[in-house]
Amino acid sequence: MRRIAVIALIWVLTALPAAAQAALAEAQAAFAAGRFEAAADAGEASGDAAALALAARALNARTLLAGAAGADPAVVARARRLAEAALAKDPSSIEGKLQRATALGWQ
């Protein structure tokens, strides 16, 4: 019984990083295809610092392509929140800092 619990725990702990990597790969593919909302959703769902920073980057790219006049304040605020979430998970994340600064620049 105890052995089964240990095996289950090991399986769960190794599966979590794999799931985060899959979500990051999904977000990267969506970003590369120009599907910025999908990239943001996938990155946010991952909860990983790198994926959260990518999610913020996707929304900042969407805002950049819309132009300053077409910038949606809700999208900009979400990009800032995602960048801040990335920094909460990894305070040394350069990408998180860059995306937070970019989002703040749009406000």
* Closest by Cα among 75, 28, 85 to 54: 28
**Cα gap 31→64, rounded to integer Å:** 14
Whether 3 has a pLDDT exceeding 80, the answer reads no
Could you tell me which residues come within 8 angstroms of residue 59 by beta carbon, excluding any fewer than 6 positions away?
Answer: 36, 37, 40, 75, 76, 78, 79, 82, 103
- Tens digits of residue pLDDT in 15-70: 446 666 777 888 888 989 999 999 999 999 988 899 999 999 999 999 999 887 88
pLDDT at 1 over 70: no
Determine the average pLDDT of the residues in 67-84: 92
Angle at the Cα of 60 from the Cα atoms of 54 and 62, rounded to 5 degrees = 105
Return the structure tokens found at 57: 């980057």
